[in-house]
Amino acid sequence: MGRHDTGVKAIAVRGLRKGYGERRVIEDFSLEVEAGEVVAILGPSGCGKSTILRCVGRIERADDGTIETGGEVGFVFQEPRLFPWLSVRKNVAFAARNDAERARVDETIALVGLTPAAPQLPKQLSGGMAQRAALARALIRHPQVLLLDEPLAALDALRRLELQRALGGILSLTRAAAILVTHDVDEAIAVADRAVVLEAHGGRIVLDLAISPAARSGEPESHAMQRAALLRALGVAEGDARRTDAARRASPYF
Amino acid sequence: MGSRLLVPAILLAAWFWTTSAGIVKSYQFASPAAVLNEVTALAQSGDLWADVGISVERVAIGFAAALLCALVLGTLVGSSRVAERALDPTLQALRAVPSLAWVPLLLLWLGIGEAAKITLVAIGGFVPIYVALVAGIRGVDRKLIEVARSLGLHGAALALRVLVPATLPTLLVGMRIGLTQAWLFLVAAELLGATSGLGFLLTDGQQTTRTDEILVAILLFALCGKLSETALRALERRAVGWADTIQA
């Protein structure tokens, strides 16, 4: 199914449950990602997409369920989160643990197209450049698993499109299994091999759709079809959210 | 540049004119010439260097002690809630005490020797550094710590590679204010029972109604304070030029 299909599971999540105090965010979430496969997680805001990703990345501890990730995990946050006192080059080198990884710093910066900006400080970078640097920092350890938490959400439309294209290329080059959390259907189609749509509450998958290469390359008909399928699933999810909220407001016993 | 020198030039001219025309008597305010003479005389006798030297020494030792204590206590209070509850109220209360209030106690404890003066300077320098460091540690962006943790950094490595550089800008501002405070407290220390130093020049000038001597001391204080502040500012610019602020 993936672009580099080997049949090996790089990420396996089963029965993930996570809440904050009384609030149950994820009740039952399961997902398998093959090596080299890119999976987009779509869902209405507040459905727990980011929570799932943070659990898979061990940034947060899951309440229940099993999470298996094969090999090194790289994480890209919604904001670049660069260390402001370090240049781009040193920010990328920050994640390097040995000489072999340090030797790859310039090459990785070139991969994300940031070579001219390598000596610059984060405050001198545009939003798109900063996010590229953050991506390079996550790539320096050659991760087998890449977790991307709405990495393009903070960018303006033009930059988003530009970086979306770059991200697709970089992901297929690195051959890492990746989960891309996004709320943008077009981004999911452009970057991912597979898109899953989550329910508004609880994290159950309402649609698991393989993105056809034709749709990804922008062939209008298949693009429109897959877009419609994803939007319909999202609409149902969002409709559920609205109905639940309306029911809550209407009934004191809900 | 011209506009910056305008006010000092007018003041100097007014000083020159009022003293030379006899509007202000020399026992009220010495003339520029008298001050210049006094500086030359003090320099030639060697007293100038001795007094400046001992004052600078007291500030340097006191400030170093203040920095050391503030680094230890500030790090403790900034990074541990237990230490904060145990120590911070006391330290905040000490901070509220005006500098001169310490003098009688320090004289009783430590006599009128160097120890009392250096301790007073250290108290003055400690407070701003401590306050800034605690605020700096508290203000470190949690998101950056999360990044470092996700990269597998913990303990000393996390502190050294993330907390220290992130705290440095605030700490350096605290150090600059602390140094100014150290000079302030030095004057208090030297006004009361000193036989050397710039503060001694002040009291000596007062007792012998030598306004030229007093003015020399005041000018030297201004010079020393400005020079030490400039040095720290330069350090700040070098160390924290990355900070995304208007100043930088």
Chain B residues near residue A123 by CB distance under 8 angstroms: 242-244
Chain B residues near residue A135 by CB distance under 8 angstroms: none
Mark yes or no for CB contact B165/A58 under 8 Å.
no
Q: What is the chain A residue with the closest CA to B246?
A: A123
The full set of domain ranges for chain B reads 52-193+216-239
pLDDT band at B21 (very low <50, low <70, confident <90, very high): confident
Interval A8-39: pLDDT, tens:
689 999 999 999 988 889 999 999 999 999 99
Query: Which CATH code for domain B52-193+216-239?
Result: 1.10.3720.10
Q: How far is A81 from chain B (nearest CA, A)?
A: 6
Q: How far is B75 from chain A (nearest CA, A)?
A: 20
Structure confidence at residue B196 (pLDDT): 87
Q: Is the pLDDT confidence value at A201 over 80?
A: yes
Structure confidence at residue A74 (pLDDT): 94
Kindly state whether A207 is in contact with chain B, defined as any CB-CB distance less than 8 angstroms: no
Chain B residues near residue A121 by CB distance under 8 angstroms: 242
| Contact pairs from chain A to chain B, CB under 8 Å | 39
Phi-psi region of B73 (alpha: psi -120 to 50; beta: other; left: phi over 0): alpha
Structure confidence at residue A250 (pLDDT): 53
Q: What is the pTM of this model?
A: 0.81
Mark yes or no for CB contact B147/A77 under 8 Å.
yes
Query: Which of B149, B165, B242 lies closest to A121 in CB terms?
Result: B242
Best-predicted range by mean pLDDT (A5-19, B116-130, B183-197): B116-130
The full set of domain ranges for chain A reads 1-72+143-215+230-242, 82-142
The percent of residues in chain A predicted with pLDDT above 70, rounded, is: 90
Structure confidence at residue A237 (pLDDT): 67
Q: Is the pLDDT confidence value at A253 over 50?
A: no
Say whether the ipTM exceeds 0.90.
no
- Residue from B141, B145, B149, B150 to probe the interface with A (highest A Cβ count within 10 Å): B150
Interval A53-73: pLDDT, tens:
999 999 999 999 999 998 899
Q: Is the pLDDT confidence value at B149 over 80?
A: yes
Q: How far is A148 from chain B (nearest CA, A)?
A: 13
Chain A residues near residue B240 by CB distance under 8 angstroms: 85
Structure confidence at residue A223 (pLDDT): 92
Mark yes or no for CB contact B150/A123 under 8 Å.
no
DSSP string, chain B: -HHHHHHHHHHHHHHHHHHHTTSS-TTTS--HHHHHHHHHHHHHHTHHHHHHHHHHHHHHHHHHHHHHHHHHHHHHHHH-HHHHHHHHHHHHHHHTS-GGGGHHHHHHHHTTSHHHHHHHHHHHHHHHHHHHHHHHHHTS-HHHHHHHHHTT--HHHHIIIIIHHHHHHHHHHHHHHHHHHHHHHHHHHHHTT-SSSHHHHHHHHHHTT-HHHHHHHHHHHHHHHHHHHHHHHHHHHHHSTTS-SS--
Mean pLDDT, chain A, integer: 88
Structure confidence at residue B248 (pLDDT): 37
Interval B51-68: pLDDT, tens:
999 999 999 999 999 999
Mark yes or no for CB contact A77/B149 under 8 Å.
no
Structure confidence at residue B47 (pLDDT): 87
Mean pLDDT, chain B, integer: 88
Best-predicted range by mean pLDDT (A161-165, B59-63, B113-117): B59-63
Structure confidence at residue A11 (pLDDT): 95
Interval B199-229: pLDDT, tens:
888 988 888 888 889 999 999 999 998 999 8
Query: Which of A79, A86, A95 lies closest to B143 in CB terms?
Result: A79
Chain B residues near residue A83 by CB distance under 8 angstroms: 144, 147, 162, 165-166
Query: Which CATH class name applies to A1-72+143-215+230-242?
Result: alpha beta
Q: Is the pLDDT confidence value at A7 over 70?
A: no
Kindly state whether A61 is in contact with chain B, defined as any CB-CB distance less than 8 angstroms: no
Structure confidence at residue B209 (pLDDT): 85
